[in-house]
Copies of this chain bind each other. A is one copy, B any other.
Amino acid sequence: MNQATSETVLDRSDHKLILSSRVNGTAVFNRAGERIGHVDDLSIEKLSGKVVYAILSFGGFLGIGEKFHPIPWSLLDYEPERGGYVVPLDKAELTAAPYYDRYELTALGGPSHLSYGERIFGYYGPYGSVPYW
């Protein structure tokens, strides 16, 4: 166990639970295997404790600066061999997906959360996402 680095621990598919501090910062790849950014934060439904969105930061990698893409949690698939999450979209599909600046991330969970949700889950519905409400 002493030789277990944080990477190898993260890789373990037999781990049923993961700490939010381990998820945040983890790399995200698109369907083609290109690294598109990382998980910056998680948006959680207070009452149920369910993670609704992983907030992906593309951090300028796609040239869109400080923009954040909320993606339904269920679309993230952890791939140990890549050491990161893979989302089932290509670059064009990700670029066209809803994104927000940091300030709007707070509004995402506020009184207008359904408007945000309808737009986001409307976009990702064809990929199999089911709304949280």
Residues of A within 8 A of B (CB): 9, 12, 14-21, 23-24, 41-53, 55, 73-74, 78, 105-106, 108-111, 113
Beyond A19-B105, A50-B51, A73-B49, is A111–B14 a contact (Cβ under 8 Å)? yes
Contact of A17 among B14, B18, B43 (CB under 8 A): B43
A16's nearest neighbour on chain B, judged by CB, is: B113
Closest CB in chain B relative to A112 CB, distance in Å: 10
Measured between beta carbons, the chain B residues less than 8 angstroms from A9 are 106
Measured between beta carbons, the chain B residues less than 8 angstroms from A106 are 9, 19
| Copies of this chain, count | 2
Contact of A18 among B18, B19, B43, B74 (CB under 8 A): B43
Measured between beta carbons, the chain B residues less than 8 angstroms from A21 are 24, 41
In the bound assembly, the distance between CA atoms of A89 and B47 in angstroms comes to: 20
7 A-B residue contacts at CB 8 Å?
A: A16-B45, A16-B47, A16-B109, A17-B46, A19-B41, A19-B42, A19-B109
Query: Are B49 and A50 closer than 8 Å at their CB atoms?
Result: yes
Closest CB in chain B relative to A128 CB, distance in Å: 14
Query: Are A44 and B18 closer than 8 Å at their CB atoms?
Result: yes
In the bound assembly, the distance between CA atoms of A47 and B73 in angstroms comes to: 9
